[in-house]
Chains A and B, each alone.
Chain A
Amino acid sequence: MSSNLQLIIRREFISRIRNRTFVIMTFLSPLIAVGMVALIAWLTTLNSDEVKKVVVVDETELFVSDFEDTKEVTYLNYSKVGLETAKDSVISQKLYGLLYIPEKSTNKNLAKSIQFYAEESPNFSVLNRIERIIANKLTEQNYKDEGLNLEVIQKAKAKVNIQIENFSGEKTSKMSNYVKMAFGGLAGYLLMMFIIIYGNMVMRSVIEEKTNRIIEIIISSVKPMQLMLGKILGTSFAGIVQFLVWVLLGGVLLIIATSLFGIDAQPVGVDPSVALEENNPEEIQLLIQDILKLPLLTLVLSFFVYFVGGYFLYSSIYAAIGAAVDSETDSQQFMLPIILPLMLGIYVGFFAVIENPHGTVSTVFSMIPLTSPIVMLMRIPFGVPWWQILISISLLIGSIVFMVWFAGKIYRIGILMYGKKPSYKELFKWLKY
């Protein structure tokens, strides 16, 4: 009867692929995504074009000269006019803000009494810069007051750039952690998206068969378990096709967009390391080396295993939920057991794993089957002992077998139940039928 499974897989696949919404989403999503990126990039450049004018009233006359104009901010010296007049003109001319440095007896007092007036809460980076300038000047002033020679101090400052090397003598860049994080994070996030999108699709397809009332005709020919597996597999093949189209189309569009608008990816990129690398060609080389040095084979293999495993685990839950309810709106009450572990996985991944990839929390969550696919995928780039992977995968496979059995039970009963909105208690009863 394995030919029946093939038939079901093919039908599910074809009916997904032919679905109009599916086709539209397949081709439109990359366009929308790239469009969004381009839009954000454009808006960012637009935003920083606007020069912020900051009025400085410096009663000490000590700091004014240190405020140099940047691309973002110009400083206007209003020290001579006094605070009240300066305030009025900032308001009337709608300037960005007003920095007030009063005359104080000691530097300590001065440091506490500097004020910034603004209509809206001021930009973080602007404030940061101002604070740094004043702090530097005050520190210098303090040195002078203590009778220290500034030049000597400048000379005495040491610059440290620790070279990271492992015991076999290979150099790594400081970026290597970022690279590992990026790889793991991307894999985990991708898996979560895949589960939510295509798990939902499995559920909808189960509900569709129920509402169309074709289900009894089908299961008089095939076993419910075959039907469920066929659905999960057929939908996942459609999902893989969609994903591939997205990656290809998205890549092509991104290249076109960047060359067309002349936007370099930098302002959009979240990675703060990019700027650093440019200063240091050696770092880039190390970065590439880092990527090549990642356990690539393990990474690809485990990505495959956890992707398939995680998807199977969750989509069988989705199938069971679809069988238990009559419509998609009724399915909400059963979503918690899916969303909760997924979210937990992502949060543990982004907080605990990045903080300490081999800590207790990370290790435990990379073993628990519902969170392990995401968390382990995030851990693997940092190097996980093989026995941990082995335990985690065995637990995952064990729980898939259990979950498919469990879901199959609920599925078998649920697909023939109409008009009832079951509770968890009732689902539990179904297991005994």
Chain B
Amino acid sequence: MSNLLEVEEASKRFGNFIALNNVSIKVPKGSIFGLLGPNGAGKTTLIRIINQITLPDTGNVFLDGEPLQSHHIKDIGYLPEERGLYKSMKVGEQALYLAQLKGLSKKEAKERLKYWFDKFDISHWWNKKIQELSKGMAQKVQFIVTVLHRPKLLIFDEPFSGFDPINANVIKDEILQLRDEGATVIFSTHRMESVEELCDHMALIHKSNKILEGKVTDIKKEYKSNTFEVGLLSDNNMELEKVLRDTFQIEPAHFKAIDEQLKLKISLDTKTQPNELLGFLSDKAQVVRFNEVIPSVNEIFIKTITENE
């Protein structure tokens, strides 16, 4: 799979402050790429460099194999975190204006806007002013304007903030559909559960440096610690726990169960296979639960950040 976007060793300083330090990322075509990092890590600077709002001091950006140029503006749709619309302008006029700035003709823009407005069932907003709409409503208009010119690359910075759960779901489905239609998506967010749900690739930026990048599944494999969560039924839980503690490294686990179980997390060394554990356990007790503990993106995020402090 080739990469739609490649950033090579981009650096940017503002005065004495280094906002971005030799950051490289590769965003594969057709992927949903999660760009993660704590506040002030440099995500926005990186996104602004991709959007040609800020120029990097050093480093290169390639879109579809070409060095980034001004005509690439048309190939990118960007929904910034700090977003708004002209308050006193009408919704329709405004959407038309923004679409035309992206290079669509007036006619084309009108047709596509009609499609989206019908899809979201907001056609009756056309002649309303933005100041009459709620924040969530305005966000919908912004989303439409972002995707209207069918860009190859979509960049969403905290796209779900301001949406209620129902509308957040609508937007999520639209993003997935756009991906299926061939768009590549970069996703910058703090909400780890949406990364978990949507992203297949991710990069983590911390204090201006990239500290992690790759396929989400690969990263998870790397971060899993060969730990298994087990639920055991036996006559004497105390006795069983003692035996297990002597053989393995254990700690208590928490999950919901309908009967009195011994709930444990058991970590294995690299030589031991899961089957050996399962065999050992099934000799001693009734195994009602046995699953591998896979680290969540949230856990990986917190772990890597604290490790790099």
Knowing A219-B53, A220-B51, A416-B53, the reply to whether A429 touches B15 (Cβ < 8 A) is: yes
**Smallest CB gap from A209: residue in B:** B86
Complex formed: what's the CA distance from A8 to B80 in Å?
20
Beta-carbon contacts under 8 Å, A174-206 to B? none
Knowing A1-B70, A221-B102, the reply to whether A213 touches B84 (Cβ < 8 A) is: yes
Question: Is the C-beta of A11 less than 8 angstroms from some C-beta in chain B?
Answer: yes
Question: Is the C-beta of B119 less than 8 angstroms from some C-beta in chain A?
Answer: no
Beta-carbon contacts under 8 Å, A280-294 to B? none
Complex formed: what's the CA distance from A213 to B85 in Å?
7
Beta-carbon contacts under 8 Å, A50-108 to B? none
**Smallest CB gap from B145: residue in A:** A217
Give A residues with C-beta under 8 Å from B: 1, 4, 7-8, 11, 15, 19, 208-209, 212-214, 216-223, 416, 418, 429, 432-433
Question: Is the C-beta of B78 less than 8 angstroms from some C-beta in chain A?
Answer: yes
Of the A-B pairs whose beta carbons lie under 8 Å apart in the complex, a sample of 14, sorted by A's number, is A212-B84, A212-B86, A213-B82, A213-B83, A214-B85, A217-B142, A217-B145, A219-B53, A220-B53, A221-B102, A223-B70, A416-B48, A418-B82, A432-B15
Stretch at the interface among B93-101, B216-224, B287-295, B299-307: B93-101
By a CB distance below 8 angstroms, the chain A residues around B145 are: 217
Knowing A7-B100, A221-B102, A432-B15, the reply to whether A216 touches B142 (Cβ < 8 A) is: no
Among the listed B14, B80, B98, B101, which residue makes an inter-chain contact with A216, where contact means beta carbons less than 8 Å apart?
Answer: B80
B82 engages A218 (CB within 8 Å): no
By a CB distance below 8 angstroms, the chain A residues around B70 are: 1, 223
Complex formed: what's the CA distance from A401 to B78 in Å?
31
By a CB distance below 8 angstroms, the chain A residues around B128 are: none
B100 engages A217 (CB within 8 Å): no
**Smallest CB gap from B14: residue in A:** A433
By a CB distance below 8 angstroms, the chain B residues around A212 are: 84-87
Complex formed: what's the CA distance from A208 to B76 in Å?
25
By a CB distance below 8 angstroms, the chain A residues around B82 are: 213, 216, 418
B101 engages A214 (CB within 8 Å): no
Question: Is the C-beta of B89 less than 8 angstroms from some C-beta in chain A?
Answer: yes
B84 engages A214 (CB within 8 Å): yes
Closest 7 CB pairs of A and B: A213-B84, A216-B80, A221-B101, A212-B84, A220-B78, A220-B51, A213-B82
Knowing A7-B101, A217-B78, A220-B53, the reply to whether A15 touches B73 (Cβ < 8 A) is: no
What's the nearest-Cβ distance from chain B to residue A432, in Å?
Answer: 7
By a CB distance below 8 angstroms, the chain B residues around A433 are: 14-15
What's the nearest-Cβ distance from chain A to residue B79, in Å?
Answer: 8
What's the nearest-Cβ distance from chain B to residue A234, in Å?
Answer: 12
By a CB distance below 8 angstroms, the chain B residues around A219 are: 53
**Smallest CB gap from A7: residue in B:** B100
**Smallest CB gap from A418: residue in B:** B82
1/0 per residue B56-82: CB within 8 Å of A? 000000000000001001001011101
Question: Is the C-beta of B39 less than 8 angstroms from some C-beta in chain A?
Answer: no
Question: Is the C-beta of B127 less than 8 angstroms from some C-beta in chain A?
Answer: no
Beta-carbon contacts under 8 Å, B88-119 to A? 88-89, 97-98, 100-102
